[in-house]
């Protein structure tokens, strides 16, 4: 029994002093600005990103699939932002900054996060979340992915790489 307690104590010690502080560093880092976004502003952002691949993630704090997708998008953003990838997260659930900011901080997201309104929901025909759009360097849809399954990360990463290489 003593060996079991020591083993459990050792596990607690390792978690308390190594794993937990390491995971909190991601949360304590620089967080993206969270603000409302209109359809015209989104269109302007896409125009300004001409020559880059744009990933738009439509999500909600209440969606388990969105919560699974966000760490992947954060990793994808970190890996490819210097190669021409822009990632935009847009919540479309009708909540304000008081809900979104703490959620984004908790998730440790580093890519830009916005709060979309009815104009964006209507223009992109968002009926459920998550929905991911990948736009090519000309701003045309290169992929539309509904949901987030275990196959989604490989599919999106492969398509991002293809779109980044296109036209080089």
Pairing between β-strand 141-146 and β-strand 85-91 as defined by DSSP bridges: unpaired
Asked whether residue 51 falls in the same domain as residue 15, the answer is: no
Dihedral (CA of 100, 105, 107, 110) sign = positive
Asked whether residue 95 falls in the same domain as residue 126, the answer is: yes
Asked whether residue 55 falls in the same domain as residue 136, the answer is: yes
What is the pLDDT, as a whole number, of residue 7?
44
Asked whether residue 155 falls in the same domain as residue 82, the answer is: yes
Owner of token pair 């190669």: 83
Please write the tens of the pLDDT for every residue from 137-150. Answer: 999 999 999 999 99
Residue 83 CB-half CA count within 13 A? 15
The Cα 41–Cα 55 span in angstroms is 16
For the chain, the domain total comes to 2
Asked whether residue 10 falls in the same domain as residue 59, the answer is: no
Please write the tens of the pLDDT for every residue from 14-69. Answer: 333 333 333 333 434 466 789 999 999 999 999 999 999 999 999 999 999 999 99
The Cα 154–Cα 13 span in angstroms is 35
The mean pLDDT of 82-88, rounded to a whole number, is: 97
Asked whether residue 36 falls in the same domain as residue 10, the answer is: no
Asked whether residue 106 falls in the same domain as residue 141, the answer is: yes
Asked whether residue 57 falls in the same domain as residue 73, the answer is: yes
pTM of the complete model = 0.80
Asked whether residue 89 falls in the same domain as residue 113, the answer is: yes
Asked whether residue 14 falls in the same domain as residue 38, the answer is: no
Angle separating helix axes 97-107 and 64-80, nearest 10 degrees: 60
What is the pLDDT, as a whole number, of residue 60?
97
Asked whether residue 43 falls in the same domain as residue 3, the answer is: no
The CATH number assigned to the domain holding 88 equals 3.40.30.10
Asked whether residue 73 falls in the same domain as residue 141, the answer is: yes
Give the range of the structural domain holding residue 55, as residue numbers without chain letter.
32-165
pLDDT band at 168 (very low <50, low <70, confident <90, very high): low
CA geometry: angle 146, 160, 35, nearest 5 deg: 65
Burial label, 97 (beta-carbon count in 10 A; 0-12, 13-18, 19+): middle
For residues 105 and 27, the answer to whether their CB atoms sit within 8 Å is yes
């Amino acid at each position: 029994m003593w060996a079991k307690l020591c083993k459990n104590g050792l596990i607690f010690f390792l978690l308390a002093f190594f794993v937990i502080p390491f995971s909190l560093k991601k949360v304590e880092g620089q967080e993206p600005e969270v603000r409302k976004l209109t359809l015209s502003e989104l269109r302007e952002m896409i125009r300004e990103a001409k020559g880059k691949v744009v990933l738009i993630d439509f999500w909600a704090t209440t969606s388990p699939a969105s919560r699974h997708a966000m760490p992947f998008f954060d990793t994808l953003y970190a890996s490819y932002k210097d190669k021409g990838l822009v990632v935009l997260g847009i919540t479309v659930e009708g909540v304000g900054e008081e809900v979104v900011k703490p959620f984004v901080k908790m998730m440790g997201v580093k890519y830009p996060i916005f709060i979309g309104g009815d104009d964006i929901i209507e223009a992109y025909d968002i009926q459920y979340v998550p929905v991911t759009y990948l736009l090519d360097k000309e701003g045309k849809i290169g992929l539309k992915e509904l949901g987030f399954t275990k196959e989604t990360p490989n599919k999106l990463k492969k398509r991002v790489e293809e779109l980044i290489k296109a036209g080089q």
